Amino acid sequence: MAALLHIFSSHTAPAFQNLEKAGIIPKPLKVQATGSFFQVRPNTRITINRDSEGMKGIAGYVAQLLRPATGFDWKIIHQKSASPGNIHLMISNNQPNLGDEGYKLTIARDRVILKANECKGLFRGIQTIRQLFPPEIERKTPQDVSWKLATGTITDYPTYSHRGSMLDVARHFFPVEDVKAYIDWLARYKMNVLHLHLSDDQGWRIEINGWPKLTRIGGSTEVGGGKGGYYTQEEYKEIVRYARERYITVIPEIDMPGHTNAALASYPELNCDGKAPDLYTGTKVGFSSLCTHKEITYRFIEDVISQLSELTPGPYMHIGGDESHATEKQDYITFINRVQDIVTSQGKTLVGWNEIAEAGLNPESVVQLWHGNEQGIQAAENGNQLIMSPSERAYLDMKYDSTTTLGLDWAGYIEVDRAYNWSPETYLPEIGKEDILGVECPLWTETVTNREEMEYLVLPRLLGYAEIGWTPASLQSWEDYKLRLAHHGRRLEEMGVNFYRSDLIPWK
């Protein structure tokens, strides 16, 4: 009878008391509502079951998220078990099904318990708790709101281990603060990879010791001829640190042998004819190449890759490899193989765009499918894991429709439904789930010059890609997603971001 009453009450309770109607994005694996609410009060505390740096870091992060809008203290206390009135975060290593990023959230009338095997899982679970608060939680000043969380349990873990986005800081340069904002969007939707495209024809964006002209000359402009910019190694470390604090891995990309005009303009000796080309501020591709026959090219690459490897704790080094139309095919193959050796000698796993599959890779290397299904299939047959970023579905820089002013359209228009309605494991019949490491949505920035423009192309499509990576395909549904996104619109409004208000979404 008690169980029946529970079921009955969860269906008749007001929406704010119904955990199943909370509209969380990405959709959690399993949600059971119990039809009541937990009331957050000025003396609600965050309690942690371990006094570790990781736990204190996460508790501090939660307090800092919840303080501005609630105006409460959010004291952090170390104690073994949950207590009435509080939100308890606990590591408990006995839930193998949750893996390293999963969590179990129990919201009762008198307490909240978030459990995970690892801090990473707690961090993902925090993002769920955050979405259970009323949308005013996003404000920066105290709000007169009754802070209630619907009761029930959520058991949740990701489908893919690699869920990310690429940000191109080469076509237009973005300062550290913008990259941190980008990292925060990834964190919010439980993504765990930031791929930074650090060099291209129009700009070199990372300081490399011993090669000062890369940044002094190569970093001095951008598409359209603006002043460009670059990250010092200290600034890059700060980006990595900020991402790491959010359990996000940074993958640095230095694109080569093509997409290298900025480097070639900085150092004449990297060119086969020994002459530096002019800096380039247009948007054409496929015209530049490092000189694959010169030893200095490989000394240069060794310096760049060893310094970036040192600065980057994650396991991956992305070497681009796309659109090298100005490199002879055999030279390209020889080059990619040499660079693969340099990357592995630094203890990193090589990642590159699908063109690198032509080079006959080590099976440990990872291939990012963007445009070239045959190469993606070849990579899978060779045993390489794939990151799925098909341009016609996953490119954040494609326009939404013909009326969108920002963005490009060479891979078609990508409305919010087209961005959501596909699945990595069924994208190509030849590529199965076992071949796929995960999903990334790239933001190329030929047309993107500032934070607002970035927001417009990224939001809300990023949320759909986050769900494709996190939620099992069997639980994804456009009809359900569009209602959750509509509900989430209030939150985006409160965040004050410049998101695209698609006509396909019944915004509230």
Contact call for residue 355 and ligand ACM (CB under 6 A) = no
Q: What is the DSSP letter of 400?
A: S
List Cα–Cα distances, 316 to 154, 298, 404, in angstroms: 32, 19, 35
CB of 410 to ligand ACM, least distance (A): 9
Residue nearest ligand ACM (C-beta atom): 322
Distance CA 317, CA 308 (A): 8
**Minimum CB distance to ligand ACM smaller for 353 or for 481:** 353
**Of residues 253, 323, 355, 455, which has the active-site annotation?**
323
**Which pair of tokens denotes residue 488?**
């989430």
Question: Residue 199's beta-bridge partner residues?
Answer: 204
**Burial class of residue 159, CB neighbours in 10 A (0-12, 13-18, 19+):** buried
Site for ligand ACM in 361-380 (CB under 6 A): 370
**Gap between the Cα atoms of 466 and 364, Å rounded:** 25
* Closest CB 466 distance from ligand ACM, rounded Å: 21
The nearer residue to ligand ACM, 159 or 375, going by C-beta atoms, is 375
Site pattern 10..39 for ligand ACM (x: CB under 6 A): ------------------------------
> What is the closest distance, in whole angstroms, from the C-beta atom of residue 332 to ligand ACM in the complex?
15
Distances 360 to 214, 288, 351, 475 between C-alpha atoms, Å: 30, 23, 13, 37
Distance of CA 45 to the CA centre of its chain: 30
Task: Find out whether 113 and 88 touch, Cβ atoms under 8 Å.
Answer: yes
Other residues' Cβ atoms within 10 Å of the Cβ of residue 408: 15
Instruction: Please choose, from the candidates 186, 80, 83, the residue with its C-alpha nearest in 3D space to the C-alpha of residue 440.
Output: 186
Is 494 designated active site? no
157 versus 444: smaller Cβ distance to ligand ACM: 444
For residues 243-260, b (16+ Cβ closer than 10 Å) or e, as one string?
beebbbbbbbbbbbbbbb
What CA–CA distance (Å, rounded) separates 444 from 398? 9
Quote the CA–CA distance of 359 and 141 in Å, as a whole number: 55
How many residues bind ligand ACM (CB under 6 A)? The answer is: 4
Q: How far apart, in whole angstroms, are the C-alpha atoms of residue 380 and residue 264? A: 33
Query: Helices 176-188 and 119-132 sit at what angle, rounded to 10 degrees?
Result: 80
Q: What residue type is assigned to position 321 of the chain? A: G
Q: How far is residue 271's CA from residue 291's CA, in Å, rounded to a whole number?
A: 5
- DSSP bridge pairs for 33: 152
8 A C-beta contact, residue 448 and residue 454: yes
Closer residue to ligand ACM, CB minimum distance, 160 or 370: 370
Q: Which residue lies nearer to ligand ACM by CB, 45 or 197?
A: 197
Of the pair 63, 411, the CB lying nearest ligand ACM is at 411
**Burial readout 344-363 (b: 16 or more C-beta within 10 A, e: otherwise):** eebebbbbbbbbbbbbebbe
For the four alpha carbons of 465, 469, 473 and 477, in that order, the dihedral sign comes to negative
Closest approach, Cβ 335 to ligand ACM, in A, equals 17
Whether 106 contacts 64, CB under 8 Å: no
Nearest distance from residue 350's CB to ligand ACM, in Å?
A: 16
Q: With binding defined as CB under 6 A, does residue 156 bind ligand ACM? A: no
Out of 200, 323, 440, 446, the only residue in the binding site for ligand ACM (CB under 6 A) is 323
Distance CA 252, CA 248 (A): 13
Closer to ligand ACM by CB, 18 or 261: give it: 261
How far apart are CB 106 and ligand ACM at their closest, in Å?
43
Find the binder of ligand ACM among 316, 335, 353, 400 (CB under 6 A): 353
Q: Which is nearer to ligand ACM, 411 or 475 (CB)?
A: 411
322 binds ligand ACM (CB under 6 A): yes
CB of 323 to ligand ACM, least distance (A): 5
Question: What is the total residue count of the chain?
Answer: 508
In whole angstroms, how close is the CB of 210 to ligand ACM at the nearest point? 28
Contact map string, positions 167 to 206, toward ligand ACM, x by CB under 6 A: ----------------------------------------
- Minimum CB–partner distance for residue 316 and ligand ACM (Å): 16
Provide the minimum distance between the beta carbon of 354 and ligand ACM in the complex, in angstroms, as a whole number. Answer: 8
Residue 270 or residue 396: which is nearer to ligand ACM going by CB? Answer: 396
User: CA-CA distance, 262 to 223, in Å (whole number)?
Assistant: 12
Cis peptide before 257 (omega within 30 of 0): yes
Q: Which is nearer to ligand ACM, 37 or 353 (CB)?
A: 353
- Catalytic residues, which ones? 323
- Using CB under 6 A as the criterion, which residues of the chain lie in contact with ligand ACM when the complex forms? 322-323, 353, 370
